[in-house]
Amino acid sequence: MEAIDIESCGSCTIRKCIGKRLTSDGSWQDNFKMFSGDSYEDAEQNYLMWEKDCYGFDISLTLGELLDKYIYDIMIDDPDIRYNTKYGYIITYKQYFKDQPITRIPLNQIRAIDLQFAYNSLRCKPRYIRSINFLIGKLYNFLQLRFEIPNISQAVTIPKAPSVPRCAVEVWTDEELETITKNLDTAPRIRFLIILLINTGCRISELLALKYNDIDINAKTLLINKQLQKYTDFKDKKKSAWYGKSLPKSDESNRIFRSQMTCSPNLRYTGNGTGSR
């Protein structure tokens, strides 16, 4: 929807719908912004330049609109944030914050105390609130590249979790570990992967990204320099530093590794009995 107003001096002003806003009676209305120029073409060009400069972001939009736009237009394509991290932010935002009343308020009307009250009303663990606040802080940092607006996420206090006494860590005995591996004789590939987990302490994402050429049986080392981010995106995402983890040094363990390499050319377990290099 667009309106054109030709002023007496010959200039032109156009009105562009840039989103929605919540009125005082609780209904949603189109939110318009005015763009002026010496002619209609100039005004249209000014609108296009505004849209290009700030990617269509405007602080008069609601917090919810801006968060959605930031997540799917900016953050989702950010190579500096890992896939699992992005997924965690999105799930936490949708589950605990997306439907909160504060998300329906224009960003330029939200004060730090409003955000604090919103956090205090959330019924979730503080770590989830911390993730939401980090996401909002990223949005403000992005908007500050174009707008003069304070980052109110830095002025709030994240509620603390009640202190819970630490429990002693229970470690599996050698007999329990042997019971686990013996019961997997009918699934040699899974048994092989579990032996790697038990003897190296690597993460699941690191384990599923391994290739046979990462294993040096003679040197008894395992090179871990990547993680599997999702099944459809098997890319070598190098960690901040390369490091090795020692393999089990028993002859029996090495025999299992050699046997697995011989009977199955693929290392990665996909969940359906097949492997992938």
Greatest alpha-carbon pair distance for the chain in Å reads 92
191 φψ region: left (φ > 0), alpha (ψ -120 to 50), beta (else):
alpha
Give the Cα separation of 197 and 178 in Å (integer).
Answer: 13
Looking at residue 108, the DSSP 8-state letter turns out to be: G
For residue 34 the two structure tokens come to 């005015």
* Predicted local confidence at residue 18, as pLDDT: 63
* Predicted local confidence at residue 133, as pLDDT: 95
* Predicted local confidence at residue 245, as pLDDT: 52
* Predicted local confidence at residue 27, as pLDDT: 67
Please name which of 10, 17, 57 lies closest in space to residue 35, comparing C-alpha atoms.
17
Q: What is the pLDDT along the chain (277 residues), one digit of tens a residue?
A: 455 554 444 578 888 776 555 566 666 667 677 878 888 887 887 777 666 566 668 888 899 999 998 998 888 888 778 888 888 899 999 999 999 999 999 999 999 999 999 999 998 999 999 999 999 999 998 888 777 888 999 999 998 877 667 776 777 888 888 888 777 777 777 877 887 787 777 888 888 887 877 777 777 777 777 777 654 443 444 443 344 455 554 565 666 666 766 655 555 544 444 444 3
* Predicted local confidence at residue 266, as pLDDT: 52
* Predicted local confidence at residue 253, as pLDDT: 60
The count of other CB atoms within 10 Å of the CB of residue 167 is 6
**Read out DSSP for 164-212?**
-PPPPPP---HHHHHHHHHTTTT-HHHHHHHHHHHHH---HHHHTT--G
Structural domains for the chain: 1-54 (no CATH), 57-164 (1.10.150.130), 174-276 (1.10.443.10)
Please name which of 27, 36, 29 lies closest in space to residue 4, comparing C-alpha atoms.
36
Identify whether the C-beta of residue 82 lies closer than 8 Å to the C-beta of residue 229: yes
